[in-house]
Every structure is written in C-alpha cells, then in structure tokens.
Structure 1
Amino acid sequence: MTKLFHTYRVLALVVGVLLVVGALSSLCKYLLEDGSTLQQLGDDLTLIWIVHGWVYIVYVVVAFLLSQKARWSLPQLGLMLIAGLIPGLIFWVEHRVVERLRADHPELARA
C-alpha cells in the first residue's frame, strides 16, 4: 500500500508544478504585449496544459483509490480533486493528506 501513497505524493507535486507553470505561462501569453519575448514564451508553453490534463487524470484515479483505502468522506476526496485545479492549493492539501494518513492510517503511509 505504500506504493499508492508514494505515487499520490509524486503525482500531487507534479500536478502542482505543472499547474503553477501553466498559470504563469497563461498570464504571460494573455497579459503581456503581443510579440514580446515573455508573451512568446507563454504561447510556447501552451503544451503544459495538455500535459497537466493527462497527469491530472492519473492523479484523480490515485487520489480516489487512496481515499477509498483510508475510508475518507466524499468532501475529503473533493478537496483532493479540487486542489489539482487551483494553483498552489495542491501543495497545502498534499501536506495535510500526508499528515492525516500518518496519524490515522500509518500502515498506508509507511516511509
């Protein structure tokens, strides 16, 4: 079961980084002057959103499986899923999930 726990942690961090980079690239793409270097960089990084989407789908499956093993409520799962859509939030949620798993289900969160 620790494999599921470690997979969740890695996916949460990857989704979080992709989401922050994607958000910053969108800000550059749409808020800066057309033709500027940063605007072009934002346009070139549009592929980040496709990668984030595919990794997020895997994250959803792993988060669901982990919440089922831990017998968590639907709101807890909902928070885990929403965190992958709001830049920065997933880092806080991942930390809280790890703390809760280690406290309530140490057998699921062995290092």
Structure 2
Amino acid sequence: MSRLFTSYRVLAFVVGVLLAFCSLVALPLKYLATEGGDLQRFGESASIMWVAHGWVFMIYVVITFLLSRRAGWSAPFTVLTLAAGLIPLIIFWVERRVVAKVRAEHPELAG
C-alpha cells in the first residue's frame, strides 16, 4: 500500500510540473510571442508536452482512484484530488493535503 502512496506523490509532482510548463511557458510562447520568432517556434515545439501530460495524467487518475478507495476518502475529496491535475499549480497544494490526510488517518500507508 505504501507503494501506491509513493506512486501517487511522484505522479502528482510530474503532472504538476508538466501542466505548469505547458500552461505557463509553452502556451503563452506559442500564442503571444512574435509570429515566426524563436520564442514562438519554441512554444510550438514545446506543445508536445501536452501529450506527455495527457498520458501521465491518465496514470495519475488510475493511481489516485485506487488510493482513494484504499484510504476510504469521501467522493468530494476524491473528485477534488482527481481534478487537481487539470488546474495549473493547484495539484501541488492538493498533494500536500493528501499527504497530511493519509499520514493522519492511515500512517501505515505513508510508509
């Protein structure tokens, strides 16, 4: 069970970093930088990271759902935790809440 918790933490971090990079760096450069400039081309090239975020997010959803069932989370908390990977930077706050909740309620899961 502690492997599931560790997997959740790693995936939350990776999803958060990918989403932050895509939405706060790649997207603005792609659409707001000077047309045809180096920054715009970088933004277009970096947009492939959305695909990486999508794949990692799907794994994050499965692991988070499994953890929520094992830890006995309520439906609203589970939905908030699942949706956190879609809102830039929120996932880092939610991950800290999850860690606190799991450590308080299920210390055996936190390893």
**Alpha-carbon distance in structure 2 between the residues aligned to 1:27 and 1:86:** 16
Amino acid of the structure 1 residue aligned with 2:94: V
Q: Which residue of 1 aligns with 2:18?
A: 18
**Alpha-carbon distance in structure 2 between the residues aligned to 1:102 and 1:54:** 28
Tell me the SS of whatever aligns to 1:100: helix
The CA deviation at 1:82 is 1.2
**Alpha-carbon distance in structure 2 between the residues aligned to 1:39 and 1:77:** 38
1:35 equivalenced with 2:36 (yes/no)? yes
Q: Which residue of 1 aligns with 2:107?
A: 106
TM-score normalised by structure 2 residue count: 0.96
TM-score normalised by structure 1 residue count: 0.96
- Percent identity of paired positions between Structure 1 and Structure 2: 54
Amino acid of the structure 2 residue aligned with 1:38: L
Q: Which residue of 2 aligns with 1:96?
A: 97
The CA deviation at 1:34 is 0.8
The CA deviation at 1:36 is 1.6
Q: Which residue of 2 aligns with 1:75?
A: 76
Please list the CA deviations of residues 35-76 of structure 1 after superposition, one character each: whole Å capped at 9, or x if unmatched.
Answer: 121111110011100010000000000000000001111111
**Runs of 4+ off more than 6 Å:** none
RMSD of equivalent CA atoms: 0.7
Aligned length: 110
**Alpha-carbon distance in structure 2 between the residues aligned to 1:40 and 1:81:** 32
